[in-house]
């Protein structure tokens, strides 16, 4: 038991270090897990000599991955892009599978292993390509749509591949055609069952679970649904991954889609990490060293042929040539599902461990090159065509001419709303945002938006911090907002800084950091609501405006604190931020009875006295010299712990 715990601990240390190291050099976590598996495997540290020891957990990783894939599977999106998905995507999958199957046959493989190799080679890495494209801000460009379409079809094609590979390994009592026909029949039956359950049963279950407002129950129900669907297909003799995919697809159109995806992600990532570690353990270093020439040859063949075949598929369906070259360069690697297929084929003895090691080595190297290829694909295509191609990300216009402008930090919903009203009033502004997609879209529409970290003083100088007349922080991240304020004040101490925050937890800290005005959304919303109520009650507008100005000047003094209820969230992170109100009833034996408020030192307890009720009459602002009587009700406000302490002092005297 002790050895097993030590092994798990050592494996986790290796995984954490590998992911950190690979992220530092801008390589995906998948490669980090594979490298961790190689180091922990039988050829090096021998933490686990047999990858089968973690086979069950690795299988769960595939189940959760396919469940997530089903949730993200969008039939309307696929139909909207059908000419590319079922044109270029289908063509690429068929042509690439056949070409690499033919090459495998030439190298002496049997037809079934050759088909498996062809299917592996035809797949590309959805995770790496989509993530890298998002970070570069090119995911929503027309040029990237072909890549996305091909990846969509590849994800769809994974499911039948996972079904037929175990059938290939079945004993020869029945023909392959009969086995596939039986599998199709079983799959159709499972699909009907899951469709019925997904349409009529699951929405009601999740509706009831959602009403309980218990996060743990929602997470447990999500995991249970994924595992039960996987178990159903497994009981029919089909892949567990198929059931998980179908269950995800059924729930993908529900209102709970995003919550389900968020709940399953941590489990998926952990178990997928374990899966890729087991894949790395299967890699034989001796085979890698002795077959390095074949691995490098296979790598070149894979990447060159996939680029050409994607271009050929685009030509067949009369799609854009330049887009096809760019898509080919982005998608010329093997994908994460290629490793799933090689593991499945090895488990069913369709591929030998030596062949699997060679194929995995090719896949790992191709994925390692992918981030560089995605980043430089426009430049490579430009050189291939010997002409300049427009870069997908348009740089923001230069703001040298700006004078007395407003700087908007954060160009999300709030920042964009502010910019529109500034534009209506012909007030010049420049924005800074750290979301590359948003910056690209905004610049394409002619907005003056810069990509960068607002804490960076070079960025602040670039947007003319010394010439601005106002700075506005629109993002609701306290630590970052505080750091930005400090950077702004350091460069231009006289510049007014307005900060938007959602709640009023950190008002004083933001003011101390240098903010001129802090606008808490919830309190401002309440203030506007009160203004409307007072107006409808006949209070003169001049008095309302005076009241609003006074509340803002006093930092919303009358609006802090509230009476907690059963549904009030009291997490560890919030207990020092919330400000509660609490009514303390002075019983006959209470310590404070007969004493003045000043005698019990209420003013030193760091709580506010909101009011005092005596004989059902309210004293709104009681004087510290007032003598407290039996049955007096003192309403105090403050942080939860301070309120509790003040109550104990009033009642017990300590």
More confident of the two residues 132 and 172: 132
Maximum Cα interatomic distance, the chain, rounded to a whole number of Å: 101
C-alpha to C-alpha distance for 621 and 611, rounded to whole angstroms: 6
C-alpha to C-alpha distance for 392 and 374, rounded to whole angstroms: 12
Please tell me what DSSP assigns to residue 467.
Answer: T
- pLDDT at residue 566, rounded to an integer: 47
Q: What is the mean pLDDT of residues 634-641?
A: 78
Residue 390 scores a pLDDT above 60? no
Residues 190/236, Cβ–Cβ less than 8 Å: yes
Residues 458/482, Cβ–Cβ less than 8 Å: no
Vertex 340: Cα angle to 338 and 342 (nearest 5): 70
Residue 273 scores a pLDDT above 60? yes
More confident of the two residues 440 and 399: 440
Residue 8 scores a pLDDT above 50? yes
- pLDDT at residue 603, rounded to an integer: 65
300-307 long-range contacts, CB within 8 A, separation 24+: 301/103, 302/100, 302/121, 302/332, 302/333, 302/334, 302/362, 302/366, 303/332, 303/333, 303/366, 303/369, 304/332, 305/96, 305/99, 305/100, 306/96, 306/121, 306/124, 306/331, 306/332, 307/332
- Look up the pTM and report it: 0.56
Model confidence at 2, pLDDT cuts 50, 70, 90, reads very low
Burial category of 208 from C-beta neighbours within 10 Å (exposed 0-12, middle 13-18, buried 19 and up): exposed
**pLDDT (tens digit, 9 = 90+) per residue, 139-155?**
556 567 788 788 878 87
Residue 10 scores a pLDDT above 70? yes
More confident of the two residues 395 and 608: 608
More confident of the two residues 454 and 604: 454
**pLDDT (tens digit, 9 = 90+) per residue, 445-456?**
778 888 777 887
Q: What is the mean pLDDT of residues 32-45?
A: 81
- pLDDT at residue 32, rounded to an integer: 85
C-alpha to C-alpha distance for 149 and 324, rounded to whole angstroms: 11
Model confidence at 118, pLDDT cuts 50, 70, 90, reads very high
Residue 395 scores a pLDDT above 60? no
Residues 66/250, Cβ–Cβ less than 8 Å: no
Percent of all residues in the chain with a pLDDT value above 90, rounded to a whole number: 7
CA 194 to chain centre: 28
Residue 503 scores a pLDDT above 60? yes
All structural domains of the chain: 2-385 (1.20.1530.20), 406-558 (3.40.50.720), 580-652 (3.30.70.1450)
Q: What is the mean pLDDT of residues 294-300?
A: 90
Full strand arrangement of the beta sheet holding 449-451: 449-451, 429-433, 406-409, 470-473, 497-501, 517-520
């Amino acid at each position: 038991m002790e050895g097993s715990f030590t092994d798990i601990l050592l494996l986790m240390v290796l995984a954490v270090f590998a992911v950190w190291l690979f992220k530092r050099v801008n390589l995906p976590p998948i490669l980090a897990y594979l490298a961790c598996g190689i180091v922990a495997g039988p050829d090096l540290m021998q933490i686990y000599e047999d990858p089968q020891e973690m086979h069950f957990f690795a299988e769960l990783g595939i189940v959760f991955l396919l469940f997530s894939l089903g949730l993200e599977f969008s039939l309307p999106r696929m139909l909207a892009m059908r000419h590319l998905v079922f044109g270029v995507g289908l063509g690429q999958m068929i042509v690439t599978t056949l070409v690499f199957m033919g090459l495998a046959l030439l190298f002496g493989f049997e037809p079934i292993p050759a088909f498996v190799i062809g299917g592996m080679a035809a797949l590309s890495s959805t995770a790496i390509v989509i993530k890298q494209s998002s970070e570069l801000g090119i995911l929503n460009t027309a040029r990237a749509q072909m890549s996305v379409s091909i990846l969509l079809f590849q994800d769809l094609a994974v499911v039948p591949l996972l079904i037929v590979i175990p059938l290939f390994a079945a004993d020869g009592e029945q023909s392959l055609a009969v086995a596939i026909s039986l599998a199709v029949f079983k799959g159709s039956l499972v699909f009907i069952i899951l469709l019925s359950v997904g349409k009529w049963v699951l929405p009601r279950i999740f509706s009831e679970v959602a009403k309980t407002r218990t996060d743990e129950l929602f997470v447990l129900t999500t995991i249970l649904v994924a595992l039960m669907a996987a178990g159903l297909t497994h009981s029919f003799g089909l892949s567990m991954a198929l059931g998980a995919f179908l269950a995800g697809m059924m729930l993908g159109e529900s209102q709970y889609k995003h919550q389900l995806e968020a709940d399953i992600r941590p489990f998926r990532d952990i178990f997928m990490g374990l899966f890729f570690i087991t894949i790395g353990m299967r890699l034989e270093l001796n085979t890698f060293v002795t077959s390095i020439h074949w691995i490098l040859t296979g790598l070149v063949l894979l990447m060159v042929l996939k680029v050409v075949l994607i271009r050929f598929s685009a030509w067949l369906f009369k799609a854009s040539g330049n887009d096809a070259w760019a898509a080919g360069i982005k998608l010329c690697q093997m994908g994460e599902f290629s490793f799933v297929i090689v593991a499945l084929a090895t488990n069913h003895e369709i591929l030998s461990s030596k062949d699997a090691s060679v194929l995995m080595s090719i896949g790992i190297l191709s994925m390692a090159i992918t981030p560089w290829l995605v980043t430089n694909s426009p430049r490579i295509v430009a050189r291939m065509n010997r002409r300049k191609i427009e870069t997908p990300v348009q740089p923001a216009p230069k703001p040298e001419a700006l004078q007395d402008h407003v700087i908007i930090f954060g160009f999300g919903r709030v920042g964009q709303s502010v910019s529109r009203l500034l534009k209506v009033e012909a007030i010049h502004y420049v924005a800074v945002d750290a979301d590359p997609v948003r910056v690209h879209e905004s610049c394409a529409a002619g907005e003056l938006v810069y990509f960068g970290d607002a804490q960076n003083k070079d960025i602040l100088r670039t947007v003319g911090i010394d010439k601005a007349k106002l700075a506005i922080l629109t993002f609701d991240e306290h630590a970052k907002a505080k750091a930005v304020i400090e950077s702004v004040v350091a460069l231009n101490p006289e510049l007014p800084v307005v900060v938007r925050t959602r709640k009023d937890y950190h008002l004083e800290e933001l003011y101390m950091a240098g903010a001129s005005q802090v606008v808490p959304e919830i309190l401002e919303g309440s203030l506007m609501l009160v203004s409307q109520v007072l107006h409808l009650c006949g209070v003169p507008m001049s008095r309302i405006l005076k009241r609003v100005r006074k509340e803002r000047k006093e930092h919303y003094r009358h609006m802090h604190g509230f009476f907690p209820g059963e549904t009030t969230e009291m997490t560890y992170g919030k207990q020092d931020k919330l400000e509660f109100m609490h009514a303390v009833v002075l019983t006959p034996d209470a310590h404070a009875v007969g004493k003045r408020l000043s005698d019990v030192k209420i003013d030193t307890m760091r709580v506010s006295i909101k009011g005092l009720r005596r004989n059902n009459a309210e004293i709104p602002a009681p004087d510290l010299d007032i003598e407290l009587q039996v049955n007096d009700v003192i309403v105090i406000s403050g942080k939860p712990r301070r309120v509790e302490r003040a109550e104990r002092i009033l009642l017990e005297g300590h």
